[in-house]
Amino acid sequence: MVDKLDEMENKLNEQIEKNVALNRRLAESVADVIFADVAEGLALSQKDKLAALAENVEFDSEDTYREKLVTLRESYFPTNAGTQKDDSEHISEEVEETPQVSSLMESYLQTLGRVAKK
């Protein structure tokens, strides 16, 4: 009976490890798809730079990851003046809807603000 219990426990641990690995791969795949979507229209060198910046972005959920990548893209690779006005208005609308920002996102915003001023 004890042997059977140990065997079942080992099988359960193996399945948990497999599940964790699958969830990690799924999150990476989703992050790759979101990155490709956000980086669409950028030059190859810009995509590489955005990829390097995105390495430090934590994947919490699809929406927050997309928002962080869009913020990075807009900060480092602004679009032309006409489109930029539209994006700025859109961003300000989003900020009004979600006034609370996590401490991690606040540090990103402060860093991006300093870089944008240079």
Asked whether the beta carbons of 47 and 66 are under 8 A apart, the reply is no
Give whichever of 2-16, 69-83, 85-99 has the largest mean pLDDT. 2-16
Contact 69, 57 (CB under 8 A): yes
CA distance 93 to 103: 21
What would the pLDDT profile of 48-89 be if each residue is shown by its tens digit?
999 999 998 888 889 999 999 999 999 988 876 444 445 555
Give the confidence band of 104 by pLDDT, cuts at 50, 70, 90. Answer: confident
For residue 44, CA distances in Å to 15, 38, 41, 49, 69 come to 40, 13, 9, 9, 16
Residue 4: pLDDT over 80: yes
State pLDDT tens for residues 28-52.
Answer: 899 999 999 999 989 999 999 999 9
pTM recorded for the entire structure: 0.56
pLDDT of residue 60: 86
- Among 104, 84, 87, which residue's Cα sits nearest to residue 95? 87
